[in-house]
Amino acid sequence: MDAIAHDLRKTPLHALHVELGGKMVAFAGYDMPVNYPAGILKEHLHTRASAGLFDVSHMGQRTLTGPDHATVARSLEAITPGDFQSLGTGRMRYSLLLKSDGGIVDDLMVTRWPEDGKLGLVVNASRKEIDDDFIRARLPSNVKLVAADDRALLALQGPAAEAVMARHCPKAASLSFMTATAAEFDGMPCTISRSGYTGEDGFEISMRAGHAEAFARALLAEPEVLPIGLGARDSLRLEAGLCLYGHDIDETTNPVEANLTFAIGKRRKIEKDFPGAGKIIDALFDGAAKKRVGIRPDGKAPAREGTQITDGKTRVIGRITSGGFGPSVNAPIAMGYVETEFAGDGTQLGLMVRGQEMPARVAPMPFAPHRYKRN
């Protein structure tokens, strides 16, 4: 075990996690806290009620740089279905790296910074190196991908996040959902976006790695804030109906199957010039063979990833990709893929749990309402 732990990468806050009593586990090649002494249930509910602080420094922070915005935006549009030429300064978009067959290489966040010819990317920790190779192999010679491995990333999430942030960075309160700015936090430079992965209002804060502990300690000193680990991060995003790469989406799924067509820009649908466009546009009009849906098992037993989904009459029609107990809804919840004819809300399904077919139904997502600050 010691040899395995020794091989894991550490974020700049690793020593603080240990000091706070974090239970450390291997995740995406990093030694990360799955929970703290409060426990996953309390951490989850505290984030929904007040504010939780997450270390997400394992995520990949990247910058695309080129001679001007149009050039950089076009280079990103060549590998994604998003419209980045029209992205305003200080605005963000969710997008997808796509293979030529429409399969999803990764999902990512894209931000346009004030400097002309610069787009910020945040990609998944488990896909950083894969994404780097994928993107660089497809860039024109005058656009470069730069890894910001000298930076840390924190997320402050929950209804008290704005009040907490305003004490240290008044500028943060002026942001609305999916906007970003450069700012100072207690005099330290940073960039802040109003975004997150919980369905709650909140912020993601990028800073120099050497400043990360000062940021974290300042936020944890606030009475509303608790440290939150990977366990509650996962249950929060599941309640919010948000995908986890490698589970709910991967290179074998496309945006239509994954119910992520909002990531396809209107202009891109017309021009049909993104990877896999033919297959994806056909699926938009004709329907896909399978669809990602929310699922509510009857009773109290959760359905875990890999559980077979049936039509209620033993025929297998899909499988669960994420599942567990939803603390905010006090019930088991799940998402997975089913044959499209079974994807309608309220459709009765079966779940094969320990050899028994248990009743379930398709349910709308999110399971817990999103509470983003839209304006």
Asked whether residue 219 falls in the same domain as residue 293, the answer is no
Asked whether residue 33 falls in the same domain as residue 139, the answer is no
Alpha-carbon span 238 to 318, nearest angstrom:
18
Alpha-carbon span 60 to 68, nearest angstrom:
23
Given a contact cutoff of 8 angstroms between Cβ atoms, the answer to whether 219 and 164 are in contact is yes
Q: Answer yes or no: is 65 within a domain.
A: yes
Interval 119-137 mean pLDDT: 98
pLDDT confidence bin for 355, thresholds 50/70/90: confident
Alpha-carbon span 83 to 97, nearest angstrom:
13
Alpha-carbon span 49 to 136, nearest angstrom:
42
What is the b/e burial string over 131-163, where b = at least 16 CB atoms within 10 angstroms of the residue's CB?
Answer: beebbeeebeeebebeebeebbbbbbbbbbbbe
Asked whether residue 344 falls in the same domain as residue 293, the answer is yes
Q: What is the pLDDT of residue 5?
A: 54
The two three-digit tokens of residue 85, written as one number: 């030429």
Interval 346-357 mean pLDDT: 94
What are phi and psi for residue 329, nearest 5 degrees?
-100, -5
Interval 21-41 mean pLDDT: 98
3-state secondary structure of 362: strand
pLDDT confidence bin for 3, thresholds 50/70/90: very low
Quote the mean pLDDT of the chain.
97
105 conformational bin, left if phi > 0, alpha if psi -120 to 50, beta if neither:
alpha
pLDDT tens per residue, range 71-99: 999 999 999 999 999 999 999 999 999 99
Q: Name the nearest CA neighbour of 360 among 352, 370, 368, 369.
A: 352
Structural domain ending residue among the three candidates 172, 205, 239: 239
What are phi and psi for residue 166, nearest 5 degrees?
-60, -25
Total domains in the fold of the chain: 3
pLDDT tens per residue, range 288-321: 999 999 999 998 989 999 999 999 998 999 999 9
Alpha-carbon span 27 to 364, nearest angstrom:
29
Interval 241-256 mean pLDDT: 98
Q: How far apart are the first and last CA of the chain?
A: 49
pLDDT tens per residue, range 187-211: 999 999 999 999 999 999 999 999 9
Given a contact cutoff of 8 angstroms between Cβ atoms, the answer to whether 346 and 149 are in contact is no
pTM of the model: 0.96
The two three-digit tokens of residue 140, written as one number: 């024109």
Q: What's the CATH code of the domain at 133?
A: 3.30.70.1400
Q: What is the pLDDT of residue 142?
A: 98
Domain extent for 11: 2-57+150-239
Asked whether residue 21 falls in the same domain as residue 162, the answer is yes
Q: Answer yes or no: is 278 within a domain.
A: no
pLDDT tens per residue, range 320-337: 999 999 999 999 999 999
Alpha helices in 64-156 (DSSP H): 69-77, 128-136
Question: Is the pLDDT confidence value at 4 over 60?
Answer: no
Q: What's the CATH code of the domain at 357?
A: 2.40.30.110
Q: Answer yes or no: is 158 within a domain.
A: yes
Asked whether residue 177 falls in the same domain as residue 300, the answer is no
Q: What is the pLDDT of residue 2?
A: 39
Q: Answer yes or no: is 179 within a domain.
A: yes
Alpha-carbon span 199 to 119, nearest angstrom:
24
